[in-house]
Each structure stands twice: as C-alpha cells, then as structure tokens.
Structure 1
Amino acid sequence: MASLFGHLARLFSFWLFAGLASLLASAPGFAAPYAAIVIDARTGEVLYSENAEARLHPASLTKMMTLYIAFEEIQRGNISLDTMVTVSKHAAAQPPSRLGLRAGQKISLRNLIRAAAIKSANDAATAIGEAISGNEADFARRMTRTAKALGMRNTTFKNANGLTAQGHLSSAMDMTILGRHLFYDFPQYYNLFSRRSVDAGLATVNNTNRRFLDAYKGADGIKTGYTVAAGFNLTASAERGGKRLIATVFGGKSTADRNAKMMKLLDLGFGKAPRNAPVNPPAPPSYQGGDEMLVADADLPEVANGAGKTVRVNMQIATSPRPLARPGSAVPTQLAAAETGEVAPAETAQPEKAVAAAEAVDAMQDSIEGALAAALGTEEDGPPPEQTDALDVESIELASAAAAPDPSLTPQARPSTPAVEPTGTSVPQAEIIPFQVVSASGVTVSPRPAKRSAPIYDEVVAPAPSAEAEPEVVISVSTSGDRHWGVNVGRFGSSFEAERALLRTQLVETATLGGSLRKVMPRSGGFEATFMGLTQDQADLACRRLQARAIQCFTMGP
C-alpha cells in the first residue's frame, strides 16, 4: 500500500510540474530569449548567427558535456561501458525526465549513457557525473574546465543534467562547438544520437529528438533540451551531398516551433556552404597544466563479471643492451673493439652507431608486438568494436618516438651481392638486409632495419634483382584525375581496431569501396579509419549506402 501511495504521489508531482511549466511557458508576455547559429562542421566557419554569444540557459543540452567527459574516461581506460554504477539518493531524486533509478541500485554505465543521450534522463546524467568525479559538484567543475579547454568561452556548469540553477549558463555558439567536438572526437559513439529508441536496461526509451530526425532529410543528431527558463533548445547535425552542418537553436516556443526554426537554419546553411570545403577537425582539448583528471586504479568503480578491465602497457626503453652474437658467427671488428673498450677507427663509428640504433628499434618493436598480442589476442578474439579502451596507445607512440632510429639510416634496395665489411670479410647472403649506411669513407654496411609500421594491407612489389640496386616501389590506388575523395568510418582506440573496421566495411560495401585504399591515420585520441582514392560521386554513394546499413561515415574532399 505504501509503495502504491508513493507511486501515485510521484505521478501527481510529475503532472503538477508539467502543468505549471506549460502554464508559465504559455503565459502572456513570457518568452525565453532566442538565439541561433549554424556552422560548416568541416571547417568550423559560421554561416549564420543571431544572438549566438549570449549567455542563456542550456537546459538538457548540458548532457552533451556529461557524455563527452564519459567518453573521455572510457578512452583513457579509467572506466568502461560495463562498469557497474551504484545509484545515489541524490541521483535517484532528480525530477523528470527520468529513467526511474532507485537509490542503491546498480546499473551499467552503458545503460546510463543510453538513457542520458536518448531519453535525456536527469537521474542517469547525475549518476554518470557521480560515478566519474564522486559527487555532482566536483563533476560540474570538471565540466566547466573541459568547456574552457574546448574553447567554450561563455559556459559555466553547475550540474550534470541541465536543470535550471544559478550560474548554469552557456551560449548557442558554445553548444555548437561542443556538438562539433562530439562528432569529430568520438565518432565511434556519435551514432547513438540518431537512434529512435534503445534498450536502457530498465526500459526501452524513445529519442526526444525523433520528430526532427524523421522530418529533416540528412539529420542524424544531436540533442534536445527544455526548461521553462530556457525554452525549447536543440543542437542538431545533418549531412547532405558531402556537406556537414551543425546548428543550435535556443528559446523555441514549442517543439514544433523549435524544429521549424532549425529546418530553416539548416536550409540556409546548406545553401551557403561550399561543396568542396576541406575537412579540418577541431583540435583536441588542451588542459591547462596538463591532464589533471585521471584517477588512480584503486579508485575505479567495480566492474560486472570482471569485464572492461584496462590493460596498461609500459614499453618505455630505458637502456638498449647490445644483443649477443649469433652462435658460430664472427663478431665484426668494430663491435669486438667496442666490447673490449678499444677505440674504433673514425670511419667505422657511424656504422656501429647505426647497428646499435637499428637493433634497439627492432627489440622495442618485438616488445610492442608481444604486448599487443597479449592485450588484444588474435583478430578473431579481439575486443568488440564498441569498446575501444583495451590498450594505452599513447604509451606505444611515446616508446616509438623515444627509440626512433638514427636519421642517417637511408632505406635502399636489397643488394644482389654479398655485403663487404670494412675488414674485407665477406658476409653470408642470409645476413644481408634491405638497408644500407654509407660511412664518411664510402664503406657500405648493412645494419638491421626497423620493421614497417605501415598498414599490413599495403601492396609492396620488390624489384627484380639486378646488377645495380634500385629503390623499392610501393603500389597504391592511383589518385590521379579526380580520385582525391575519401570516406571516413570512425576513430578507434588502436590501429588494429581501425584496420579491422576498414576490412569489415570494405567486405560489406565491396561494390563502391572494393577498389579503394584502406588507410589508418594516427590522430590525437585515436586512429582514423579512412578509404582513399575515390571520386566524389563514389565517395558520396559509398557513404549513403553505409549509412543505410547504420554504419556511420562522412566523406572527405581534396
């Protein structure tokens, strides 16, 4: 009986709140301040703005920042989609819109993200903030710091869900900047905003933006918002004919009024945006004083069934010991002199340095391959595409930079005759490798090269042996004529995942992508997976066909 009474009381409170909000919004003379802006997402150029810098109430557009920080934490390995979050009394007490969380309940971060993004659930957003920072006040301060790092000059956050609070303000310009960063910084999660409904664990929830998504061709996100003080807000993104726009409307009088204003705004933007604008993603956030937001492993929330644990790989090489000579082989004069402390002749100093550098790089890369195999397993047993926090890619990149080979090493073709060391001793053919170093005296030495770091799918054709050494030729898809377009299918946490996504996508869409070049490009925060060597028509058609299969993509022009 008590439970039934409590349910009826909450239901009555909800309808009372909704009724008062409706009366206030429709009262004569009441209207939330209006602001609007539309930008070319490819370049960030402002195509139209009205009152875009005014500090106004953002309402549930706030949840875009809550989700952005959640994606940051997943990418850093501080939390995972399968992390179980314990709901606090404060989170459970948030007013509608709500998922219906109860204090003490445990729910996965995956379902909280879905509820916050699709249903715009206030209790879910607050639970996310508390899981990351411990309490909502600390999380709001982090939200504000992140906003400043993204270039959102007029934004201050006080909570994680956007309910009206003193000082909780933003602008149409700032929310558009945030929407652009969500699109480019976390493309692997962006498709969430275009879903009409989703299973959030406790219930299947419907998208608050589904009317606009269904009504406007090319629309695929992002987020709605409403409070009495803010009016009806919307940040939206749409793509047509290779043009990608992001726009924001503050202060709509109703859902229909807001959607109509957004459609006019996007129509205006598509009319003004150039067709072949270069794609220049926004720079990643630069935090003052470095990244101050990482947490210790001991503070991480519990994980369901042991899932989502982070593999941390530290492969920084402090020393580079000289490898032992192969059994039965003679130690070169220069290396023997180094081991015994004797001083090598001047003309042999450079080759010895080259050998040591090449051997160090080779040992480092062997360590990387072993760590990758341990962390990711085989291609068939690799991490699921949705979870991209299995490996600390930054550690690998730093290790590679620290142990870079000597710039004096110049790749050459594989020699067809045995190499001769300074002493005149003939080296067996099995010891010859396709790199040469020429010392000051003109003596040729063949050190061991670093392994290729290019994608494993490149087609390399070695020239036939000849009397004269010829350079190796790398064969790729021709980009002559008008084949300067590409299709980007997302950013991933490792090059392995990016390669796998490219291969799977090409197998799905062989008709348009079968002749393209798969390319993985390292970027801050991940690896972008891109198909290159297409014409504009081929790129547009491929992206439309992929989107029809619910695969997120965007075209890239010259």
Structure 2
Amino acid sequence: MTFRLFARPGLVAPFKATIAALLALSLVACQSTELTTAGLMSASGPRAASALAGEAEIRGQSTLVLDYAIGRTLYEEAADGLRYPASLTKMMTLYLLFETIGEGRLSLDSELVVSENAVSKPPAKIGLKAGSTIRVRDAAQAIAVKSANDVATVIAENLGGSEDGFAAAMTAKARSLGMSRTQFANASGLPDPRQISTARDMATLGRALLSRFPQYAPLFSVTEFEYGGKSFKATNKLLGKVPGVDGLKTGYIRDAGFHLVATAKRGGRRIIVVVMGGEKGKERDAKVAALIDQYLGAAQFAER
C-alpha cells in the first residue's frame, strides 16, 4: 500500500498516489479482517473507535514475550487487553516513514517542513521552529531516541497532509499487518481515547518493523544524539546496561503507565519483550530485564 506524500513548495515534487487511493486499497486488502469502510474512516470519530474495539483499561498491565525468528509467543499475560499505546505508537509512524523511503518518495536527506501545529506539541520534543525544516534522517533518529512528539507530527503532516489523514493510514497499515485490535488517532501517542492497542499488536508491530526494515535497526540502539546544538539521551534506559538489548521503543502517558517494547539477542537467539502499564519506569525496566534473562539465559552469552 502507498499513500501520497504531500509536497510543500521547495520541499519535494508532488506524487501521483493520494491518500484516497490508500484508503481504497486498504479496504480491499483488509476485507479478510472484517474492516468496514466505517471502521477504516473511524480515526476521525471517537464513538466509532470504541465500537471497533472497546475502551482501554487505565494503566492496564500486559506482558508478552515473542520469539523473533518464528513469531511464536513464549509468554503472555493479558496480552489482548486494550491499552493506550502512548509513544509505542511511534513505531508505526516510523514504519510508514521507512516504507515511503523504500518506495523512493523520500530520501534520508529530504527536508520535512515544520508547522506551527507540530511546534505546539507538548514534550518530549527537540524544540523545532515553525517554518524550518528537518532532514528525514534526523527526524527518524529523534523519534527512535528521544520519542519527540513535535517530530512525529512533522512526519504525519508531510506524509499524510494532516495528522488525521496520517492516522487513517496508520490504522490501515495496522490491519494489513494483522494488528486487529489497534486504532490510531495521532502519530505520537499523545492522550486520545481513540488511540488503542494491545501488547500482542505492539509485539507484531515491533517484529514487522525490524524484519521489514533491518537497515534502520541501528537507529534504535543509539543512546544519545545531537541536534540543533543540543544533546538528547535515549528514553530506553536498558541500552548499554542490559547485555543484548539493542532497541526498540518506550512509551508513557498518565493513563497508560510505563511501556517498553524491547528487543534483545543472546546466544544467536532474539526475542521481543513487551511490558505495558508499569507503575514506574524502573519497575518496567526491571521486569523487562528479568524476562530477557529468563528466556535468553545468562547475560554472559549476550552478543554485542
């Protein structure tokens, strides 16, 4: 599936594909998952989102451990319970960005225009200025490391024309990946009752992101990066501390609690661990680390 990259003056040349084409193609592709036209367009209506999959549990806790190579679930606890995904959402934002690059509609050196709306987003952010531009490579790194909300909106507006339009594309892509209980309303994961997912769906997304775009995996292992004269540290505190951990994404909003989708490799074997709804960041991190030890064995076998 493709969708239109909305060109701005002096940015990139306009493309033939349109967001309408994405929605039409997505509907055909998703008929096997019983996604209706109303469901596909429901990113603009909170009632429709609830009708699609229900309401998320406030700070609901979920856990899932997935064997990366074969996609087999090794452990799960409330893995299908509806949760607010918070910034785990940004894995899908990056998925669509990488897909657009792969289709030749953007390059890593393309410039994305920053709007007033993007600048207005609350932290975490990297402090972009309205009317400026940011390179795609810097935008991707800012999302992967700092989980920047301003950058997520920049990507959404440049690729989808609006955040609503991009959210519809995100939900359509989720359905095509088999994420049956996920609905997106924005590109960042900022609070919105329509923005819902599950630990199982987030594991599916994490595995798809790494397997489809392995060339971008190093973005998620960076512990610190610089932009605009400032240094930003990674939100994933397990990087460089827990042997074998080399990605993926953290998330937090008040109603969600502390989330982490982590990927780790030891002894030639890789797993994805999803923990959602932690009371504190340290508690979440400790649980993920313990699960990695349990399913990958002692840390001395870690591969760096």
How many pairs are equivalent?
245
Conserved 8 A contact 1:81-1:109: yes
- Structure 1 position 246 matched with structure 2 position 269: no
Tell me what 1:172 maps to: 199
2:105 matched residue in structure 1: 78
Q: Which residue of 2 aligns with 1:36?
A: 63
Per the alignment, residue 241 of structure 2 pairs with 215
Equivalents in 1 of 2:70, 2:277: separation in Å? 26
Q: Shift of the alpha carbon at 1:109?
A: 1.5
Deviation at 1:31, TM superposition (A): 6.9
Q: Which amino acid aligns with 1:194?
A: S
Cα distance per residue 1:479-518 (max 9 Å; x no partner)? xxxxxxxxxxxxxxxxxxxxxxxxxxxxxxxxxxxxxxxx
1:231-251 CA-partner distances (Å, limit 9, x unpaired): 000000000001100010000
1:130 and 2:157 aligned? yes
CA drift of 1:215 comes to: 2.5
Cα 1:198–1:224 shift into 2, 3 Å: same
1:206 equivalent to 2:242? Answer no
Query: What is the CA distance between 1:83 and its match in structure 2?
Result: 1.1
In the alignment, which residue of structure 2 is the partner of 1:108?
135
Structure 1: give runs of 5+ residues left out of the alignment. Answer: 1-29, 272-540, 548-558
Kindly indicate whether residue 204 of structure 2 is the aligned counterpart of residue 183 of structure 1: no
* 8 Å contact kept, 1:125–1:161: yes
What residue in structure 2 maps to residue 257 of structure 1? 283
Partner of 2:74: 47
Larger deviation: 220-229 or 107-116?
107-116
The whole-number CA distance in structure 1 between the counterparts of 2:210 and 2:156 is 21
User: Which runs of structure 2 are paired with 1:456-535 in the superposition (5 Å)?
Assistant: none
Mapped to 1, the partners of 2:137 and 2:83 lie a distance apart of: 30
Amino acid at match of 1:117: A
- Alpha-carbon distance in 1 for matches of 2:231, 2:102: 26
Decide whether the 8 Å contact of 2:267 with 2:296 is kept in 1.
no
Q: Aligned partners of 2:215 and 2:229: how far apart in 1?
A: 24
Quote the offset at 1:203 in angstroms: 2.8
Post-superposition CA distance 1:22-70 (Å, at most 9, x none): xxxxxxxx97110000011010010000000111101000000000110
Shift of 1:204: 2.7
Q: If you compute each CA radius of gyration, which structure gives the higher value, 1 or 2?
A: 1
Opposite residue 286 of structure 2, the aligned amino acid is A
Whole-angstrom distance in 2 between the partners of 1:175 and 1:49: 13
Aligned to 1:230: 256
The reply to whether residue 67 of structure 1 matches residue 67 of structure 2 is no
Aligned to 1:315: none
- What is the identity, as a one-letter code, of the residue corresponding to 1:151? G
Alignment partners' CA distance in 2, 1:257 and 1:93: 31
Are the structure 2 counterparts of residues 108 and 202 from structure 1 closer, same or farther at C-alpha, using a change threshold of 3 Å?
A: farther
User: Could you tell me how far apart the structure 2 residues matched to 1:159 and 1:220 are?
Assistant: 26
Q: CA deviation at 1:269?
A: 2.2
Equivalents in 2 of 1:251, 1:157: separation in Å?
A: 18
RMSD: 1.7
**Larger RCO: 1 or 2 (CA < 8 Å, sep 6+):** 2
Q: Quote the residue 1:153 is aligned against.
A: 180
Query: How far apart are the structure 2 equivalents of 1:118 and 1:137?
Result: 24
Q: Does structure 2 conserve the Cα–Cα contact (< 8 Å) formed by 1:118 and 1:198?
A: yes
2:150 maps to a residue whose letter is D
8 Å contact kept, 2:58–2:83: no
Structure 1 segment 421-432 matched on structure 2, within 5 A: none
1:201 to partner: Cα distance: 4.2
Question: Structure 2 matches for 1:325-344, cutoff 5 A?
Answer: none
Partner-residue secondary structure (3-state), 2:238:
helix
How far apart, in 1, do the equivalents of 2:120 and 2:154 lie? 11
Q: 1:106, 1:182 → 2: CA distance?
A: 26
Which residue of 2 is the match for residue 118 of structure 1? 145
CA distance in 2, matches of 1:201, 1:183: 28
Does the 8 A contact of 1:37 with 1:50 survive in 2? yes
Q: State the 1:180 CA deviation.
A: 0.6
For structure 2, the 5+ residue unaligned runs are 1-56
In structure 1, C-alpha distance between the alignment counterparts of 2:295 and 2:203, rounded to whole Å: 14
- Give the whole-Å Cα distance in 2 for the aligned partners of 1:31 and 1:267: 29
- Taking structure 1 as the reference length, the TM-score comes to 0.43
Percent identity over the alignment?
A: 44
Residue identity opposite 1:261 in structure 2: K
| Distance (Å, rounded) in 2 between the aligned partners of 1:196 and 1:60 | 17
C-alpha displacement at 1:114, in angstroms?
Answer: 1.1
Q: In structure 1, what is the Cα distance between the partners aligned to 2:82 and 2:175?
A: 14
CA distance in 2: counterparts of 1:31 and 1:151, whole angstroms: 24
Q: Using the alignment, how far apart are the partners of 2:84 and 2:292 within structure 1?
A: 22
2:67 partner amino acid: D
Q: Please say if residues 85 and 189 of structure 2, whose CA atoms lie closer than 8 Å, have aligned partners that are also in contact.
A: yes
Contact 1:114 1:200 in 2 (8 A): no
- With structure 2 as the length reference, what TM-score do the two structures score? 0.78
Aligned-partner SS, 1:208: coil
Alignment of 1:374-393 (within 5 A): none
Q: Which aligned runs of 4 or more in structure 1 are off by greater than 4 angstroms?
A: none
* SS class of match (2:189): coil
Q: d(CA) in 2 for partners of 1:268 and 1:37? A: 13
Tell me, in whole angstroms, the C-alpha distance in 2 between the residues paired with 1:125 and 1:200: 16
- Tell me, yes or no, if structure 1 residue 142 matches structure 2 residue 172: no
- 2:216 and 2:296 map into 1 onto residues whose CA distance is 25
Residue type of the alignment partner of 2:259: N
1:303-318 to 2 correspondence within 5 Å? Answer: none
Which amino acid letter does the alignment assign opposite residue 48 of structure 1? Answer: Y
Whether the 8 Å contact between 1:91 and 1:124 is mirrored in structure 2 is yes
